[in-house]
Chains A and B, each alone.
Chain A
């Protein structure tokens, strides 16, 4: 065995890398990561003990419903901060959206299904998650208003069509 590994360091390296991979995967799935520099206040509040619940719930919804289509939604803060963006994101999640929009000069077919079947807590959690994940928290002002389950409940009526949601969409990227 020792002779084999001395003659084939490539397998030793592969085994070592596998150990790193498994260790990292375990750490990441537990939500652990290294922070370089100081954390922003928003990120800190997002991970505060009393808010762990919505964060975990958001991650659960994201993994089950969003992950298979979406990569990092790093543009969320820009959309959220645009005029009417905060309401649009919520309505888009509740009623879906469909139609042509112009993004950076190119006509783009926008299409998103409705997630009204999700609970108020689930919807607000996943929306808030998108506000803070992937470094989005750094683009968010300290006084940014997070979504609440009550707010989601209130937005369920009146029901809006895909077209109505599209009309109410701000476009920061003409």
Chain B
């Protein structure tokens, strides 16, 4: 099925699951009718619980779900839906207070009944985990600590909310209603547990050994992994995997694009730029280190987007997936034309440029470098990949190439706008963002 159709199906399924508890409220036996504000408050509470539950699978990296959207997009949904769900929960409690100001006492986390207490706890856990996510950097909370707190607060918020529903619940008095809501929540958290516990256990059976760590230009390292006792991984060029060094259960995992050709299975390569704690240490990883790869993920691939030709636009380390794409296309002897626009600060930092020259001999590949800080005597493009640059360089042909963009977010935004201005239809553009957390 077409990827977009699958995407639409997921959206419809999402709406159905989220609104399923509204059925409890519509089907008898139901409590006596109450003022509209109360009923709306209860309905919002129910919807918010289901939204919270589904949050666990949105970040679960299920391929069927991530391929139509891309994990970066799913993470964006995760954040936006969290904001919506939090708004619903706050609205749920505020409407009760508007209905009867005396109910403001229910905000007291130790007073009141267990029904109100657990509701308050769920609300506060939800608010706390949101604040920790927004202000993680300012609070100097490490990624792993944040992720632990996020998981536990999330499970706590959902658990308290469920208990709250059963204690306060005037709608879950029938077995099928009670089972439905519990089953959905357990399934969602269970799916998350599967990702965190079962999948790593399976991953143990497919270990890799670091074969080589090779320096490239511009503080980029090529990390090569050799499959250890198994045939390796089948991936599509342009996809990426989560790299874990040491234990498969480690929360210290980092998404990197594969840079190797997908035509060779046993050996995986990543192109990694020194940009933070983990990546700065990549150069010191000794060969022979055990590694695990959760993947492949992502939909940034020519194999998923057939076209008569391509335009690749890379910014800095955004070149990584394109190296995989070009190596693969070369290995396959692909005859389709490719134009690569590659933006980097300085000429000496342009990673893989020697190899790109070599690939140019094996492919119908045109390469245009766009240097932000060109050296004396540089005669090529300078500055950024702007509308003017695109107008000059985009080929005029009787067919529509597909455009892939990978790079820093501001660059992607600018290039997307420039492409639209040049008349490139949106459906012909795929971008990959890597601002994961």
Residues of chain A having any CB pair with chain B under 8 Å: 8-11, 13-14, 16-17, 20-22, 24-31, 33-36, 39, 55, 58-59, 62-63, 67-69, 71-72, 74, 129, 133-135, 138
Do residues B28 and A28 form an inter-chain contact, with CB atoms below 8 A?
A: no
Tell me which of A21, A34, A58, A135 has the highest count of chain B C-beta atoms within 10 A of its own C-beta.
A21
The reply on B32 being an interface residue by CB < 8 A is yes
Given contacts A33-B25, A71-B169, 20 further A-B contacts (CB under 8 A): A13-B14, A14-B84, A21-B40, A21-B47, A24-B25, A25-B40, A25-B43, A27-B26, A28-B25, A28-B33, A28-B39, A29-B39, A33-B26, A33-B30, A39-B28, A58-B32, A67-B34, A68-B102, A71-B168, A135-B29
Interface residues of chain A: helix, strand, loop or mixed (majority): helix
Q: How far is the CB of A137 from chain B (nearest CB, A)?
A: 8
18 A–B contacts, CB within 8 A, in A order: A10-B84, A14-B81, A17-B47, A21-B22, A21-B40, A21-B44, A22-B40, A24-B39, A26-B36, A28-B33, A35-B27, A39-B28, A63-B35, A67-B38, A69-B113, A71-B167, A72-B169, A134-B173
Cα(A5)–Cα(B276), bound, Å: 35
Residues of chain B having any CB pair with chain A under 8 Å: 11, 14-15, 18-19, 22, 25-40, 43-44, 47, 77, 80-81, 84, 100, 102-103, 113, 115, 167-170, 173-174
Do residues B11 and A13 form an inter-chain contact, with CB atoms below 8 A?
A: yes
Partner of B34, one of A11, A21, A26, A29: A29
Q: Which residues of A contact B113 (CB under 8 A)?
A: 69
Q: Which residues of A contact B31 (CB under 8 A)?
A: 72, 133-134
Cα(A47)–Cα(B33), bound, Å: 12
Q: Which residues of B contact A55 (CB under 8 A)?
A: 32
Cα(A74)–Cα(B100), bound, Å: 25
Which are the 3 A-B pairs with shortest beta-carbon distances?
A135-B29, A25-B40, A31-B33
Known: A14-B84, A24-B26, A134-B173. A62 touches B40 (CB 8 A): no
Cα(A117)–Cα(B158), bound, Å: 41
Do residues B47 and A28 form an inter-chain contact, with CB atoms below 8 A?
A: no
Task: Give the nearest-CB partner of B95 in chain A.
Answer: A25
Tell me which of A25, A55, A129, A133 has the highest count of chain B C-beta atoms within 10 A of its own C-beta.
A25
Cα(A69)–Cα(B170), bound, Å: 12
Q: How far is the CB of B328 from chain A (nearest CB, A)?
A: 29
Do residues B33 and A29 form an inter-chain contact, with CB atoms below 8 A?
A: yes
Do residues A20 and B19 form an inter-chain contact, with CB atoms below 8 A?
A: yes
Do residues A28 and B14 form an inter-chain contact, with CB atoms below 8 A?
A: no
Known: A8-B80, A28-B39. A36 touches B28 (CB 8 A): yes
Partner of A68, one of B29, B32, B43, B103: B103
Cα(A126)–Cα(B113), bound, Å: 22
Task: Give the nearest-CB partner of B102 in chain A.
Answer: A68
Do residues B28 and A34 form an inter-chain contact, with CB atoms below 8 A?
A: yes
Q: Which residues of A contact B35 (CB under 8 A)?
A: 29, 63
Do residues B170 and A134 form an inter-chain contact, with CB atoms below 8 A?
A: yes
Do residues A129 and B47 form an inter-chain contact, with CB atoms below 8 A?
A: no
Q: How far is the CB of B91 from chain A (nearest CB, A)?
A: 10
Task: Give the nearest-CB partner of B171 in chain A.
Answer: A72
Cα(A67)–Cα(B39), bound, Å: 13
Do residues A30 and B32 form an inter-chain contact, with CB atoms below 8 A?
A: no
Tell me which of B27, B31, B39 has the highest count of chain A C-beta atoms within 10 A of its own C-beta.
B31
Q: Which residues of B contact A59 (CB under 8 A)?
A: 32-34
Task: Give the nearest-CB partner of A55 in chain B.
Answer: B32
Do residues A62 and B32 form an inter-chain contact, with CB atoms below 8 A?
A: yes
Q: Which residues of A contact B22 (CB under 8 A)?
A: 20-21, 24
Do residues A135 and B27 form an inter-chain contact, with CB atoms below 8 A?
A: no
Q: Which residues of A contact B80 (CB under 8 A)?
A: 8, 10-11
Tell me which of A11, A30, A63 has the highest count of chain B C-beta atoms within 10 A of its own C-beta.
A63
Known: A9-B11, A14-B84, A71-B169. A24 touches B43 (CB 8 A): yes
